[in-house]
Amino acid sequence: TGVVWSKSVQLVIAILVFLLFPILHGILTSVMTFYMGNDSRKETDMALTTGIGIYTSSETLREEAEQLADKLDLPLLQAEPPKKSRGLLLRLEDDGLSLTDGNLFMKGDLTSMLPRLKQNNLNRELLVKAAKKNGEAPLAVDATAGMGEDALLLAASGFRVLLFEYDPVIAALLADSLKRASEDEQLSPVVSRMTLISGDSIHGMQQLSERPAVILLDPMFPKRQKSGLIKKKFQLLQQLESPCSSEDELFGAAIAAAPGKIIVKRPAKGPFLSGKKPSYSLKGSAIRYDCYVYSGA
């Protein structure tokens, strides 16, 4: 009787397992999906809080955002992160590409430079005075392009300008700004003389096929400078790119390119770049242009 009872219990258990297995499997799958989904979302959030993410709210720009994420090797976020996120966010929308940390916001806007490009104003620009264009469309190299404002002044004064930007995120912001400027009737002729290269200018200056008339160097202001010298938008850029740590190498590459003149943009009371005394300087209230003139300039 005991043996029969035992076999009966086993049979009942087997039947119950057979009937309940699909239900238990479904529950287990749902639980695993939930936790894996949470882990995935955490990883996406972490990618932003520890670095940079890319986001767009526009479905029409989704493919472009994916291409940008692949190019920059950055995560494409599926949802907009909270404003208090500790990381940086590249946001691609219909009005362009912007950078934000949740508090500060910046987007390249070369149209804001239009008043400075009027001839009377342009001729008073210290950089234009320092460059002193001679000849028909000479070549200028902006070895530290940033957001391209200085290069725009040079292009407006008649130079062909080759821009180098080492940081790929800043280069992407600048490329977007130049693209939008090229669609502006007033800026288009100026921007057509500007060519952007995303990469290291130290290497790039070694590959030049033409002797430049001018090379502009604008290493970021040292962080020890008072924040009043640095516009808020450039505080965002400094989260990406530190002040120049290879001044000697940068200056050496510029000299090796055999330009007619090297112009270095510095804080008004800052030290000479790489400790080298210039031929002369043009000084404004906040900045100074140190000019190094070489034979044939």
Q: With beta carbons less than 8 A apart as the criterion, state whether 193 and 119 touch.
A: no
Range name among 33-42, 120-129, 177-186, 206-215 with the lowest pLDDT average:
33-42
Mean pLDDT of 44-64: 75
pLDDT per position as a tens digit, 115-145: 999 999 999 999 999 999 888 889 999 999 9
Q: Which two tokens stand for residue 227?
A: 């924040």
- Nearest 10 degrees: CA dihedral of 281, 284, 288, 289? -60
b/e map 191-230, b = 16+ CB within 10 Å? bebbebbbeebbebbeebeeebbbbbbbbbbeeeeeeeeb
pLDDT per position as a tens digit, 219-273: 865 544 444 445 666 677 777 765 555 888 999 999 999 999 999 999 999 999 9
* pLDDT bucket at 75, cuts 50 / 70 / 90: very high
Give CA–CA dist 216/290, Å, rounded: 10
pLDDT the model gives residue 49: 41
pLDDT per position as a tens digit, 197-209: 999 999 999 999 9
pLDDT the model gives residue 36: 42
* pLDDT bucket at 101, cuts 50 / 70 / 90: confident
Residue 158: which of 175, 142, 176, 139 has the closest Cα? 139
Give yes or no for residue 42 having a pLDDT over 80: no
Mean pLDDT of 75-88: 79
Give CA–CA dist 69/236, Å, rounded: 19
* CA angle in degrees (0–180, nearest 5) for 233-236-240: 140
Q: With beta carbons less than 8 A apart as the criterion, state whether 86 and 244 touch.
A: no
3-class SS shares of the chain: helix, strand, coil, % to 5: 45, 20, 35
pLDDT the model gives residue 229: 40
Report DSSP state, residue 228: G
Mean pLDDT of 88-104: 91
The separation between CA 290 and the C-alpha centre of its own chain, rounded to angstroms, equals 26
pLDDT the model gives residue 183: 96
Range name among 33-47, 79-93, 206-220, 237-251 with the lowest pLDDT average:
33-47
Give CA–CA dist 196/164, Å, rounded: 6
Give CA–CA dist 35/24, Å, rounded: 17
pLDDT the model gives residue 235: 72
Give yes or no for residue 214 having a pLDDT over 90: yes
